[in-house]
Amino acid sequence: MAKIKFTKNELKNQRDALGRYERFLPTLRLKKEQLQGEVRRLSRELRDVRTRIDALEDEVRPWIALFDDPYDLAPFAAVERLDKEVVNVVGVNVTELRGVVFARALPDLHDSPAWVDEAVQALRTRVELWMAERFLTAERATLAEELRTTTQRVNLFEKVKIPETLDNIRRIRIFLGDQQTAAVARAKLTKRKTSEQWRSA
């Protein structure tokens, strides 16, 4: 705890600090609640994406053996670019995935085996889901870190700064009250001595 001065100016400074803390604390609490909501929403979205990944893998498992065919599917699932956007979520800049653009169009139906079209679609869907999972995980981690920091600030204000400032104000008031009482007592004593001197003179 910082050393305080027992003066009227320090009392004013402590009251001003208390006012600032009490004004800022509701904003921090609101930010904490909003961040908690966003982290929960992202966790749900992430669960949904992972469920879709599992469903897709279950769907393609019966015909996955066809991938042993020498037909090369990799060029059709190659990512040309990711459409992404930086957005502000509760005061935190995060990158959100808007879409995945693939390098090549779908293969020609006349030059490829019958199963290739469905396989390329499944592969592209898997790439899109994998990218979505990656971006959602990163976004959730960023917001979770901000939530941790905000929670620490809320706790600092609620459990340390505000109680400490209230205690400082109380101690300064007691000290100043004692000083005032002592000054009144000294004044009375001086007045009594002065009046006794006038009477004896």
* pLDDT score for 176: 94
* pLDDT score for 38: 98
* pLDDT score for 104: 77
Rg of the chain (C-alpha set): 35
State the pTM of this model: 0.80
For domain 8-187, give the fold. Helix Hairpins (1.10.287)
Q: What is the DSSP letter of 160?
A: I
* pLDDT score for 183: 86
| Distance of alpha carbon 172 from alpha carbon 190, whole angstroms | 26
CA dist list (Å): 33 to 5, 30, 148, 157:
37, 5, 12, 16
* pLDDT score for 21: 96
pLDDT along the chain (201 residues), means of 10: 87 96 96 98 98 94 71 80 95 95 77 76 92 97 98 97 96 93 87 79 63
CA 102: distance to chain centroid?
34
Kindly report the backbone phi and psi dihedral angles of residue 134, in degrees, each rounded to the nearest multiple of 5, phi listed first: -60, -45
